């Protein structure tokens, strides 16, 4: 057996971009799970199990090494004994160990594990967002309640806020905590959408619709400054309703928002028919 590399069916041909995407998927999924735990979201147990197992296998593969595996001495020993190195069990064991621990094999294992994670994410997208919904709604309610107490006042207007007296400080703290929770969820939502290849082609000006729906004011009539940098409280002050979307729901919201009504629509009813003469080609 002189085979020095794993069979083509085992090793995946990779590029630097492949490896970068693979590692990004591991990192993104770890962050999604960490944020979910931090905000108290309940995610499908199978997703955590798949990630933990994939991470364990990836880590184990990266520890594989042969170092000075003694192949040369093993071959010499067999030849000295008049044997065939290609049929010697010890030589074959060392060669197989080299194949298994080769850099190409390690990368192939990493990609295979990333594919498992990607499949698990795609199969649980809606369930993940649903797990975020309870902490999101709780945080959104804190913002809505705070606004009901102080009106359209920015969260950083300390003097004006504290001037309301009573337990306004507690409501203010709850609102700020709620905003942080929503920002954590938005960050994880963005990683999830990117990992499953969804909603990435929508202009950033529609990104607020990931966490909000348009109220009585049409999207095209909302403030022009509203965009991907607007936080949940900004959206609330602009008249939007806080409502977490799945990636597919966001696409539908963005598609609907992109439709701008015709400012001068044609009147309803039958349209006049113009008659033309056969010869001159002008209206009769």
Cα separation of 204 and 206, whole Å?
Answer: 5
Residue 23 makes CB contacts below 8 A (sequence gap 6+) with 110
Which has the minimum average pLDDT: 92-96, 174-178, 201-205?
Answer: 201-205
Q: What is the pLDDT of residues 118-172, one digit of tens each?
A: 999 999 999 999 999 999 999 999 999 999 999 999 999 999 999 998 899 999 9
Query: What is the crossing angle of helices 125-150 and 16-38, to 10°?
Result: 50
Q: Percent of the chain at pLDDT above 70?
A: 83
User: How much is the mean pLDDT over the chain?
Assistant: 84
Mean pLDDT throughout 242-252?
94
pLDDT value at residue 7:
44
Q: Is the pLDDT of residue 235 over 70?
A: yes
Query: What is the crossing angle of helices 125-150 and 103-123, to 10°?
Result: 60
Q: Is the dihedral of CA 24, 29, 34, 39 positive or negative?
A: positive
Pick the more confident residue, 163 or 267: 163
Q: Is the pLDDT of residue 257 over 90?
A: no
How large is the greatest C-alpha to C-alpha distance in the chain, in angstroms? 110
Inter-residue contact 227 to 204 (CB < 8 Å): yes
pLDDT value at residue 271:
57
pLDDT value at residue 280:
44
Which has the minimum average pLDDT: 76-85, 133-142, 220-229, 260-269?
Answer: 260-269
Residue 150: half-sphere exposure toward Cβ, Cα within 13 Å: 29
Residue 54 pLDDT level (bands cut at 50, 70, 90): very high
Residue 80 makes CB contacts below 8 A (sequence gap 6+) with none
Is the pTM here over 0.75, yes or no? yes
CA separation, residue 131 to residues 138, 147, 245 (Å): 13, 26, 12
Q: What is the pLDDT of residues 61-120, one digit of tens each?
A: 877 765 666 888 888 898 989 999 899 999 888 888 777 777 788 888 899 999 999 999
Pick the more confident residue, 36 or 198: 36
Two tokens, residue 245: 């979307």
Q: Is the pLDDT of residue 4 over 50?
A: no
pLDDT value at residue 265:
54
Which has the minimum average pLDDT: 47-51, 92-96, 177-181, 226-230?
Answer: 226-230
Cα separation of 92 and 86, whole Å?
Answer: 7
pLDDT value at residue 263:
58
Q: Is the pLDDT of residue 276 over 50?
A: no
Mean pLDDT throughout 234-247?
93
């Amino acid at each position: 057996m002189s085979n020095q590399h794993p069979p083509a069916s085992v090793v995946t041909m990779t590029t630097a971009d492949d490896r970068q995407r693979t590692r990004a998927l591991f990192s993104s999924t770890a962050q999604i799970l960490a944020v979910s735990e931090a905000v108290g979201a309940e995610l499908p147990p199978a997703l955590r199990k798949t990630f933990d197992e994939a991470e364990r296998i990836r880590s184990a593969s990266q520890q594989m090494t042969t170092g000075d595996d003694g192949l040369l001495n093993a071959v010499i020993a067999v030849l000295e004994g008049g044997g065939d190195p290609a049929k010697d069990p010890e030589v074959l064991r060392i060669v197989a160990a080299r194949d298994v621990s080769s850099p190409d094999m390690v990368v192939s294992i990493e990609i295979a594990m990333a594919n498992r994670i990607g499949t698990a994410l795609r199969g649980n997208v809606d369930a993940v967002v649903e797990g975020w919904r309870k902490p999101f709604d709780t945080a959104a309610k804190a913002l809505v309640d705070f606004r009901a107490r102080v009106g359209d006042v920015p969260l950083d207007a300390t003097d004006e806020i504290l001037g309301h007296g009573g337990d306004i400080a507690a409501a203010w703290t709850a609102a700020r905590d709620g905003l942080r929770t929503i920002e954590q969820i938005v960050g994880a939502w963005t990683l999830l959408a990117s990992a499953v290849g969804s909603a990435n082609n929508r202009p950033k000006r529609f990104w607020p619709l990931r966490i909000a729906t348009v109220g009585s004011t049409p999207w095209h009539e909302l403030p022009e400054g509203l965009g991907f940098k607007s936080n949940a409280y900004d959206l609330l002050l602009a008249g939007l309703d806080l409502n977490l979307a799945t990636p597919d729901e966001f696409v539908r919201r963005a598609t609907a928002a992109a439709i701008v009504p015709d400012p001068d629509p044609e009147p309803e009813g039958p349209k006049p028919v113009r008659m033309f003469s056969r010869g001159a080609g002008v209206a009769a």
